[in-house]
Amino acid sequence: MSNEASAASGKDDPRFREVKDFRDYANVDLARTHGFTRSAAAEEVDQELLDAQHEELLEQGFIIIEKLLSDAQASALRDEAETHLDKFGRNSFEGERTQRIYGLPEKMRSADVFIEHPLILAHLDRLLKPNYLLSQAQVINILDGSPAQPLHIDDGFYPWPQPRSALSVATVFAIDDFTEANGATVAIPGSHRWGEGRYPEESDKRVKAVMPAGSCILFMGNVWHGGGENFSGAPRLAFTAQYCEPYLRTQENYFLSVRPETIATVSEDLRRMLGYSIHPPFMGMTNGMHPKRTLPKEV
């Protein structure tokens, strides 16, 4: 067949799509075999509850959801975390009297239920673009005597001026009860709507996420917040995860910290959030292919 005949044949072939401008790729999903899939349990979430929570989340920038996980799930994470809690923060932001565990998707399977809780993912499905990523996940243990963390926004390091939509969304789960005295997360309602150059002032209303173990505060990445002061006489253990838009660089590089052998064993939701997914048309590819093609064929 001549080159001209081949070209004509290709043009008529339904597998081929004409793209005249790079911007057209936004409407072309080239990941045919491993495209976007909705969060596995999203359809099982109570939609009326989701609607009510979503409205509150958009209004004040955060919501507190009580007893989202069981005592047994919190205890399992606590038990697995104990062997890894051996380092202290390197500055006032990490907390010099605060212990943190990074690289959880490789180290602790008990963290999976926190990362991929169906209600959390249902909110993320509404707030972020398909195939959003896990930006970071940590266990944070604030010891007695730790001062309050400086207030901050999680996605402030992306060079995108405020006001704007959140580029990330975060959770903080209470593993111990969060109280007024032990470092409950502090958030400023409505601060996700602030303009560029607006910083917290003493007169701004602050809300402490006082909640029982297994509960969660879910907040936009541009809400001003921080870990509270712990003067309770005991440590305060928590789990936190941050998720970001699929076109942004994540805080933790999971391609280096999570082995392919581990990726092959986790859920489809967690796998795509760890970067084994595509943001159309081809962001995240490996050798021109979907990154899942690098895994064993049964995945």
Residue 34 lies in a domain: no
Domain that holds residue 222: 45-294
Beta bridge partners of 279: 283
Residue 26 lies in a domain: no
The 3-state DSSP class for residue 279 equals strand
- Average pLDDT, integer, range 270-288: 92
Residue 39 lies in a domain: no
The DSSP secondary structure of 132-201, one letter per residue, reads -EEEEEEEEEEPTTPPPPPPB-TTTTSS-PSS---SEEEEEEESSPB-TTBT--EE-TTGGG--TT----
Residue 6, pLDDT score: 47
Q: What is the pTM of this model?
A: 0.88
Question: For 92-117, what is each residue's pLDDT tens digit?
Answer: 667 678 899 999 999 999 999 999 99
* Number of independent structural domains in the chain: 1
Residue 20, pLDDT score: 55
| Average pLDDT over the chain, rounded to an integer | 88
Residue 14 lies in a domain: no
Question: For 173-207, what is each residue's pLDDT tens digit?
Answer: 999 999 999 999 999 999 999 999 999 999 999 99
Is residue 246 a contact partner of residue 279, using CB atoms and an 8 Å limit? yes
Residue 21 lies in a domain: no
Where does the pLDDT of residue 7 fall: very low under 50, low under 70, confident under 90, or very high at 90 and above?
A: very low
Q: Which helix (H) or strand (E) holds 63?
A: strand 62-65
The DSSP secondary structure of 185-200, one letter per residue, reads -EE-TTGGG--TT---
Residue 299 lies in a domain: no
Residue 2 lies in a domain: no
- Average pLDDT, integer, range 12-34: 53
Residue 156 lies in a domain: yes
Q: What is the CATH number of the domain that holds 271?
A: 2.60.120.620
Is the pLDDT assigned to residue 216 strictly greater than 50?
yes
